Amino acid sequence: MRQKIVAGNWKMNNTLQEGIELAKGVNEILKANAPKCKVILGTPFIHLTEVVKTVDSKLISVSAENCADKEKGAFTGEVSAAMVKSTGAEYVILGHSERREYYNETPEILKAKVDLALANGLKVIFCIGESLAQREANEQNAVVKAELEGSVFHLSAEQFANIVIAYEPIWAIGTGKTATSDQAEEIHAYIRSVVADKYGKAVADNTSILYGGSCKGSNAPELFSKPDIDGGLIGGASLKAGDFYDIIKAWN
C-alpha cells in the first residue's frame, strides 16, 4: 500500500546552523511522538550532510531541493545527483514551480534530472500543478497530465515506483490560499487515473500523491482525510518544528 508522507521544503531559508537546529527540533519531537507517516526534510544542498547526521534515519529521511541535469564535469556551481546521493540524502524534489518559473526548467531538463536522480539511487518528489490563469480556464487536468507526460511517463513501471507526485497548485503556494479539500481530492483522483492509464491500477494505487500549497496544521486533517491525498509537501509551515509537527500529527 502507498506511503503516507509529510515532506518539508525549506527552499532558500536557514543558515547551516539554523537548519541544524530546525532538524534537531523536528527530530526531538518525533523521538517523543512516533510519526504515523514517513517524514522527509527537504533542505538546501549545503545542509544535507549535517541534517543527515543530525536526524534519526528511522524517523526522518532527507531530500535535496534540486539536482543538476548533467552527470558531472565543467558545470560551475551545479550539484549532481551523485553528489546529493553521497550526502546520505534519499530524495530529491524536482519540477517545483519556482524552478520551472524562475530557472526556466523545461520538461526536457526535468526529464534529464529525473533520469539522473533515479540512476543514482535517489527517489524523486516530482511537482506538478497549474497556475491561477490555467485553473480559471479549467485547464488544470490537461496541465498536470502534460507535466507527467513530459518528464516522468517515459519511465518503466519499476522506475516509476521511485516517484512521489506532489500536486501543488501554483496559486496556493505561499499565498495562504489553499485548494479546498474537495478541489484537491478531485484533481488527485484525476492524477491517479492518469497514472493508472499509463502503468495500470496496481502501480497507481501504490503511488503517493502529496498536496502542496499553504498546507498547515489547521487544514491538514481535512486534506489528509481524502482518499487520494497521501500527505503534503510543505513550504512555509516546515520552517518551525512545532508547525511542521502539527501537520505530521494530522496522520495520528
Positions marked active-site: 96, 168
CA distance 94 to 111: 9
Q: Which residue is nearest to ligand PEP (CB)?
A: 235
- Closest to ligand PEP by CB, 19 vs 235, is 235
CA distance 141 to 130: 8
Least distance to ligand PEP, CB of residue 11, Å = 7
Q: If binding is defined by CB under 6 A, does position 185 make contact with ligand PEP?
A: no
Q: If binding is defined by CB under 6 A, does position 170 make contact with ligand PEP?
A: no
The window from 19-27, 28-36, 48-56, 232-240 that contacts ligand PEP (CB under 6 A) reads: 232-240
Helix axes 107-119, 140-151, angle to 10 degrees: 50
- Closest to ligand PEP by CB, 19 vs 236, is 236
DSSP 152: T
- Give the position of cell 489547521: 218
The C-alpha cell at 35 is 510519526
Of the candidate residues 105, 130, 168, 230, the single one contacting ligand PEP (CB under 6 A): 168
Q: If binding is defined by CB under 6 A, does position 5 make contact with ligand PEP?
A: no
The C-alpha cell at 81 is 545527483
CA distance 57 to 82: 20
Of the candidate residues 215, 220, 229, 248, the single one contacting ligand PEP (CB under 6 A): 215
The window from 14-22, 63-71, 110-118, 213-221 that contacts ligand PEP (CB under 6 A) reads: 213-221
- Closest to ligand PEP by CB, 10 vs 199, is 10
Q: If binding is defined by CB under 6 A, does position 213 make contact with ligand PEP?
A: yes
Q: How many CB atoms lie within 10 A of CB 121?
A: 12
Do 95 and 105 contact (CB within 8 A), yes or no? yes
Of the candidate residues 35, 44, 169, 235, the single one contacting ligand PEP (CB under 6 A): 235
Of the candidate residues 51, 79, 89, 234, the single one contacting ligand PEP (CB under 6 A): 234
Of the candidate residues 179, 214, 224, 248, the single one contacting ligand PEP (CB under 6 A): 214
Amino acid at 24: K
Q: Which of residues 98-127 bind ligand PEP (CB under 6 A)?
A: none
Q: If binding is defined by CB under 6 A, does position 173 make contact with ligand PEP?
A: yes
Helical H segments across the chain, by residue range = 16-32, 48-54, 81-86, 97-102, 107-119, 132-136, 140-151, 157-160, 181-199, 201-206, 220-224, 241-248
The C-alpha cell at 21 is 537546529
Residues of the shown chain interacting with ligand PEP in the complex, contacts defined by CB under 6 A: 9, 168, 173-174, 212-215, 233-237
